[in-house]
Chains A and B, each alone.
Chain A
């Protein structure tokens, strides 16, 4: 049981680093750098780097949630946490679930259109790029309390 919980937590943390690391790469590095990149070099980001990063980003989000819920279930606190009877981990879990929903159902569909990975009107592309950026920023904002919540389980803040 202990070894199983260790493995699930380890996979949860590794997936989480993959997810939040790429989220922060997008928001701290790629988005602010785009205006400084010459137009002829922009396809390297839009056609090569961003699609690859989005692949690891969305599957990182999926497996973070998958292993996080598995950990909560096997540890016996999943329902208490989700119903906020254990609010320190529960709030973090809800923030993580909202963020993962944003990744799969808002950011990824919008990015597919913005990056030209699916057919869409040319007018729609800037609109979808802005939508993806705003929800990516929302996730960056939520990641700060989410990580504080996760850590507070081991090290209570108050």
Chain B
């Protein structure tokens, strides 16, 4: 980790990767909190 943080370009790349991970984690948390009917509606909207 120290090697990544010593380099500014690698630090930025790590930040971008973390952002992508965060986007999927956010989606996964939302999905896990949805009830079955909410999930069905959400899937229907996504497929439109």
Contacts and interface: CB of A to CB of B under 8 A. Distances in A.
Interface SS of A by simple majority: helix
Interface in B15-48: 15-16, 18-19, 21-23, 25-27, 29-30, 33
Given A134-B2, A134-B5, A143 B23 contact: no
B5 A87 contact: no
Interface residues of A, number: 23
Interface string A29-68: 0011000000000000000000000000000000000000
Contact of A144 (B6, B16, B33): B16
A58 to B, nearest CB: 20
Interface string A115-139: 0000000000000000000100110
Contacts of B11: 27, 137, 140-141
Nearest to B2: A134
Given A142-B18, A149-B22, A137 B27 contact: no
Of A84, A141, A142, A143, which is in contact with the most chain B CB atoms at under 10 Å from its CB? A141
Contacts of B5: 134, 137-138, 141
11 contacts: A28-B8, A31-B8, A32-B8, A84-B29, A140-B12, A141-B12, A144-B15, A144-B19, A145-B15, A148-B19, A149-B22
Interface of A: 27-28, 31-32, 84-85, 87-88, 91, 134, 137-138, 140-145, 148-149, 152, 157-158
